[in-house]
A and B are shown apart, each in its own frame.
Chain A
Amino acid sequence: MVIENTFGKIKRVDEAMAYIKDKTILMFGGFGGVGTSPLLIDEIIKKDVKELTLIGNDSGFPKVGIGRVICNGQAKKMITTHIGSNPVAGELMTEGKMEIEFSPQGTLAERIRAGGTGLGGVLINVGLGTIIEEGKEIIQVDDKPYLLEKPLRAEVGIVYAKVADTFGNLIYDKTARNFNPLVAKASDVTIVHAEEIVPLGELNPEEIITPGVYVDIIVTGKGGEWKWVWEQEN
């Protein structure tokens, strides 16, 4: 099957990686590493870019997902919901080598969604009366208090999809969807690692989750596959 690169979005991995540099603000899809691109994580480690700001659900596991980048000492800051599955992330935070900003998970999702949908923020009443409200503006709407949670955007977003067509229309696989559709929208440059690229017209428009308008670069290929925690135990 000949795939025409009609929109010029299909690129080599090294062309995509040119956008990820020292100090890049990088948003990633994935939850416990599921839905994080093994190929792009591997390339980020090979390129050894430093002082990244990472935005994503969690810090993965030491040998899985974004956790590999963190353990390689490449991040100076992370905005996330959970680092408990990666002890190295906790150590780096305690030693002052990586700054961590925690957001409740639904709040992080909405902040990224706001960043991706052109909103100036969201009003959420999760975290009121906790340390999460520190430094945030409280806004009353119809006599109910809400935290003003500011939008999040990134310079580069890495997204892992099951199938992309040449325009970048995407479908995902089961729970590998998670933050990926949000990241695709909230990044200045959205790089998709698709397991498979198909010609235009192959995807059913009713089933497309992310419209290709949000996608800038599509790569595919193998590499960097990790052993999952349940496989490591065996």
Chain B
Amino acid sequence: MGLGTRELMAKRAAEEISNGNIVNLGIGIPTLVSDFIRSDIHVFLHSENGFLGIGPKPATSKEDKNLINAGGFPCTTVKGASYFDSAESFAIIRSGKLDITILGALEVDEKGNLANWIVPGKRVPGMGGGMDLAEKAKKVVVVTTHTNKNGSPKIKKICSLPLTAQTCVGLIITELAVIEVTEEGLILKEIFGGTTVDEVISRTEASLIVSKNLRVINYE
């Protein structure tokens, strides 16, 4: 059975995670990434609400009301997990101990600016821990649909929405493509099988530099 679009993006994002990494996964598609982390590497998943070492979802009726992830849902812990308070949780983030965070986006732009916390006057949920994560994780991977519900590009020349953090994004993964943010600009490095470079370019507002070694992703 083939993977759905969300799972394909999550699987590609999981390739960014290496052995020993301390990882924070945002809500939505980023949460799915944990299902695709290679079983032969050891990583610790960090949860903003105060623990390191998120394990799998518990079986129904095995939930512990005092053990939730940052999305508010029951979880378990892995061996070696630790609990701490919220100041400690963000000390881990701010002090540079977080190797990678995988986040959603409303907009991302050519400079790697990220907007993902507010649509003024429309949707104002707040930033939660998003600003800390985007500003301070060693690597910020954005997983997002290539366009919004109206078909407008989310990868822009310049973000129009209020920013979460400046020049923070390192890699953008969409259902169409994988794009790296560099000082030279956005490099189109990979496309998913079933799309074309032309389609990706036409659905992106930002300028893209097509990699000479373009990879076409075809997961089994």
Which residues does A use to contact B, with CB under 8 Å? 31-35, 57-58, 61, 80-85, 90, 93-94, 100, 102, 104-110, 112-113, 124-132, 172-182, 209, 228-230, 234
Of A104, A112, A173, A178, chain B has the most CB atoms within 10 Å of the CB of A104
What's the nearest-Cβ distance from chain A to residue B43, in Å?
Answer: 19
Query: A131-B162, A175-B83, A178-B50 known; A109 and B89 CB under 8 Å?
Result: yes
Please, which residue of chain B has its CB at the minimum distance from the CB of A102? B126
B72 and A85 form a contact (CB under 8 A): yes
Chain B residues bordering chain A, tally (CB within 8 A): 42
What's the nearest-Cβ distance from chain A to residue B140, in Å?
Answer: 13
9-residue interface stretch from B5-13, B60-68, B187-195, B211-219:
B60-68
Report B-chain residues with C-beta under 8 Å of the C-beta of A106.
86-87, 89-91, 93-94, 129, 132
Interface residue from B60, B89, B94, B165 paired with A130 (Cβ < 8 Å): B165
Q: Which of B99-140 contact A (CB under 8 A)?
A: 124-132, 135-136
Please, which residue of chain B has its CB at the minimum distance from the CB of A87? B125
A93 and B124 form a contact (CB under 8 A): yes
B49 and A82 form a contact (CB under 8 A): no
Please, which residue of chain B has its CB at the minimum distance from the CB of A172? B83
Please, which residue of chain A has its CB at the minimum distance from the CB of B48? A105
Q: How many A-B residue pairs have CB under 8 A?
A: 144
B163 contacts A by Cβ under 8 Å: yes
Q: How far is the CA of A37 from the CA of B55 in the complex (A)?
A: 26
What's the nearest-Cβ distance from chain B to residue A204, in Å?
Answer: 16
Please, which residue of chain B has its CB at the minimum distance from the CB of A57? B86
Please, which residue of chain B has its CB at the minimum distance from the CB of A209? B85
B185 contacts A by Cβ under 8 Å: no
Which residues does B use to contact A, with CB under 8 Å? 47-51, 60, 63-68, 70, 72-74, 83-87, 89-91, 93-94, 124-132, 135-136, 162-166
What's the nearest-Cβ distance from chain B to residue A121, in Å?
Answer: 15
Q: How far is the CA of A228 from the CA of B68 in the complex (A)?
A: 11
10 contacts between A and B (CB under 8 A): A34-B72, A82-B125, A100-B124, A125-B135, A130-B131, A175-B83, A178-B50, A179-B85, A228-B74, A229-B73
A176 and B166 form a contact (CB under 8 A): no
Other A-B contacts than A57-B86, A182-B85, 19 sampled, CB-CB below 8 A, are A61-B72, A80-B126, A81-B128, A94-B124, A104-B129, A105-B86, A105-B90, A105-B132, A106-B87, A109-B87, A126-B94, A126-B136, A128-B135, A174-B51, A175-B51, A176-B66, A177-B85, A178-B50, A179-B86
Q: How far is the CA of A57 from the CA of B125 in the complex (A)?
A: 12
Query: A129-B163, A129-B165, A130-B163 known; A82 and B128 CB under 8 Å?
Result: yes
Q: How far is the CA of A42 from the CA of B126 in the complex (A)?
A: 26
Interface of B: prevailing SS = loop
Q: How far is the CA of A66 from the CA of B164 in the complex (A)?
A: 26
A32 and B49 form a contact (CB under 8 A): yes
What's the nearest-Cβ distance from chain B to residue A228, in Å?
Answer: 6
Report B-chain residues with C-beta under 8 Å of the C-beta of A125.
135
Report A-chain residues with C-beta under 8 Å of the C-beta of B125.
82-84, 90
Report A-chain residues with C-beta under 8 Å of the C-beta of B165.
126, 129-130
Report A-chain residues with C-beta under 8 Å of the C-beta of B128.
58, 81-82, 84, 105
Query: A174-B83, A177-B83, A182-B86 known; A90 and B68 CB under 8 Å?
Result: no
Q: How far is the CA of A129 from the CA of B67 in the complex (A)?
A: 35
Report A-chain residues with C-beta under 8 Å of the C-beta of B86.
31, 57, 105-106, 108-109, 178-179, 182
Please, which residue of chain A has its CB at the minimum distance from the CB of B77? A174
A104 and B83 form a contact (CB under 8 A): no
Interface residue from A32, A57, A105, A131 paired with B68 (Cβ < 8 Å): A32
Query: A32-B72, A83-B126, A174-B64 known; A128 and B166 CB under 8 Å?
Result: yes
Report B-chain residues with C-beta under 8 Å of the C-beta of A100.
124, 126
Query: A131-B162, A177-B50 known; A110 and B87 CB under 8 Å?
Result: yes
Please, which residue of chain A has its CB at the minimum distance from the CB of B164? A130
Report B-chain residues with C-beta under 8 Å of the C-beta of A61.
72
What's the nearest-Cβ distance from chain B to residue A84, in Å?
Answer: 3
What's the nearest-Cβ distance from chain A to residue B201, in Å?
Answer: 29
A34 and B66 form a contact (CB under 8 A): yes
